[in-house]
Amino acid sequence: MDVSLIRGVIPPIVTPVDADECVEEQGLRRVVEHVIAGGVHGILSLGSNGEFYGLDHEQQERAVRITIEQVAGRVPVYMGIGAITTKECVQLARLGESLNAKAITILPPMFLAPSEEELYQHFRKVAEATALPVLLYNNPDRVGNNISVNLIERLADIPNIVGVKDSSGDLTLTSEYIRRTREKGFKVMAGRDVMILGSLVYGAVGCVASTANIVPALVVEIYEKFIAGDLTGALEAQFKLAPLRMASNLASFPVVTKEAMNLIGLEVGGSILPNTSCSEINRNKLADILKQMGALK
């Protein structure tokens, strides 16, 4: 993959599932068409909003395969990896390569508390097991450990570790990632939807935004107006998006994304247990936000 294509808006698409919590093919194909119609620049399969943790390897493979087939080369497809052991991450990276994903993203091992050197060796071994470009995924709130600026600077020297998605919510950290790696051509992407514009101003190349599942055109507007030099327009789009991102606490993570998509008629079904759904009161609050944004009539 030409790493110059790693840019813009990349939704971590939801994975519709059936009553047996297996990938629901037609729903997944609808999601792909919805976000592509919104102008996104790539698609991440099996990100956090894709509920990778609730799918076995067979279902993960099916989700990626259907996504790549439906995309049909229109945008790059990234495969998310969120396993705990190095061995399993290597297996999944090779799976992504065999399925013709264009790049992979890797979370640090959750539950464990690896040292900085252990994290370095983990990411290095996974990267060396594949020819694909690797994007790291920093999400300390979810996995319990943070990828430090010093570690990012070391990892950026590994040839196919080409960037990072930062979901820390710490704009100082994002900006330091960018400052300390900008001579290396390393790509930093915003992972917190309320910080897309702020990250772009610092030099991020785009975002991996859960809200782009729901209102892809609005998220794309932030990016494209910024690139065109229309800072006022980009800021207005960012502020318009903010209430939807702030609504993510109306249910347990990542339920709200699917709830909002169902409300606007995309029929993506329910979340994987133990997650269930919004309360009726909170679903109404979510519907009101979508109406105010013009996403729901």
Catalytically active residues are: 137, 165
Distance set, CA 275 to CA 175, 200, 255, 265 (Å): 34, 33, 7, 21
Q: Which residues pair with 187 in a beta bridge?
A: 163
Tokens representing residue 203 in the block: 């030099």
- Full DSSP string of 138-167: E-HHHHS----HHHHHHHTTSTTEEEEEE-
What whole-number distance in Å separates Cα of residue 278 and Cα of residue 268?
A: 15
Query: Residue 255, SS3?
Result: helix
| Helix, strand and coil in the chain, % to nearest 5 | 55, 10, 35
Nearest to 39 by CA among 219, 232, 264: 219
**β-sheet bridge partners, residue 219:** none
- How far separated are the first and last CA of the chain, in Å rounded? 40
- Dihedral sign (CA 15, 162, 209, 106): positive
What's the rounded Cα separation, in Å, for the pair 114 and 111? 9
The strand pairing partners of 79, in sequence order, are 45, 104
CB-based burial label for 154 (10 Å; 0-12, 13-18, 19+): middle
